[in-house]
Amino acid sequence: MKHSPLLSSLLLALCFSTAGAVQAETVLKLGYTATNDSHYGVAANVFGEELAKRTNGRYKVQQFPSSALGGEREMIEAVQLGTQDMVITSTGPVGNFIPATRIFDIPFLFRDYTHARKVLDGQIGQEVLKKFPAKGFVGVVWLENGFRHMTNSRHPINVPADVKGLKIRTMENKVHMEAFKTMGALPTPMAMNELFTALQQGTVDGQENPVPVILSNKLYTVQDNVSLTGHVYSPALLLMSSDAWNKLSEADRKAFLEAGKLAAVANRKRVNEDEDKGIAVIKGAGVKVVEKVDIKPFREAVKPAYTVYAKEFGADAIKKIQDVQ
């Protein structure tokens, strides 16, 4: 069928306009293991909203919560390969790719949230992020899970001796494993998306995670005891594929970093809110909660592990973190 010159011009213009609209929006796949209503979901939602706002809708974040794209390690590998654009992950499996991140998983390294956030947002944390691009990642921003606590189905944990002999799921991270081994536990590394079933079936006796993670994954429904040991601060990361990052203009990179900072603010606020309310929820489910734990014996119990940590990271590097005010 022949069209008039005017109609042909209009159709051609429409085709170019439609093609331009399609090219204008880039959809980024962002995966994480927690639910969308978790502290990870809050970070993902704010990041997506702020990024769209700062790029006039040219970038859209498509979320895949609840391990829809696999466990943390699987998603990290996918981001490294460039088959997945972004992931929000704990630092547990990240240490297998960027060993320098393991230093932040040393028990009793951080005094409190203020201390931990100053280290990660400051020179030390930013220097560690500079190591990521060489491995195929860009660390957009440090997020967090909170301070980790112990849970188990055998008995309350009041002193380090109570940990002895317990089969405890740890992150896939030798720093965590060394600490529990020192206390006499049987550390069992396991992906987060396998943990609930393992606790339910008694494959492991217990686990250790921050309150927001215990809540969002409903781990308290398959555990009888929670002890607020706060033995390790657990950072998290918003990681992006270097392939995807390298395609961005300088202006867009700035937009990603700005959106990441706002996502971190929202994430950290939610972590503190979950901790404030979470203990009541856990108690309400009939779980025994040891709230006042004397931390000093636990610090002493893991001291031998510091010899191992000093060999790996350097005593000076550890002290530098501890000295941040």
Q: What is the pLDDT of residues 288-325, one digit of tens each?
A: 999 999 999 999 999 999 999 999 999 999 999 999 99
For residues 304 and 302, what is the distance between their CA atoms, to the nearest angstrom? 6
What are residue 248's phi and psi, to 5 degrees?
A: -80, 145
| pLDDT at position 16 | 45
Residue 207: what residue type?
Q
pLDDT band at 221 (very low <50, low <70, confident <90, very high): very high
Give the residues across from 28 on adjacent strands.
Answer: 61
pLDDT score, position 182? 93
Identity at 244, one-letter amino acid code: A
User: Cα–Cα distances in Å, from 86 out to 78, 124, 172, 274?
Assistant: 9, 23, 20, 25
What secondary structure letter does DSSP report for 154?
S
**How far is 269 from 325, CA to CA, in rounded Å?**
21
Query: pLDDT category, 4, cuts 50, 70, 90?
Result: low
Mean pLDDT within 172-189:
91
What is the C-alpha separation between 267 and 4, in angstroms, rounded? Answer: 58
Contacts of 211 (CB under 8 A, 6+ apart): 146, 149, 274, 275, 278, 279, 282
pLDDT in tens, 192-204: 889 999 999 999 9
The two most distant CA atoms of the chain are separated, in Å, by 88
pTM of the shown model: 0.87
Burial (0-12, 13-18, 19+ Cβ within 10 Å), 18: exposed
What's the rounded mean pLDDT across residues 281-286? 95
| Helix residue ranges, H only, the chain | 5-24, 39-54, 72-81, 113-121, 123-129, 174-182, 192-201, 211-216, 242-246, 250-284, 295-313, 315-322
Nearest alpha carbon to residue 175 among 111, 112, 104: 104
pLDDT of residue 22: 45
Domains (range + CATH), the chain: 26-322 (3.40.190.170)
Which of the residue ranges 5-9, 50-54, 273-277 has the most confident prediction, judged by mean pLDDT?
50-54
Average pLDDT for the chain:
92
For the stretch 101-139, pLDDT in tens is 999 999 999 999 999 999 999 999 999 999 999 999 999
Q: Both ends of the chain: CA-CA distance in Å? A: 77
Q: Which two structure tokens, joined as six digits, stand for 111?
A: 């005094």
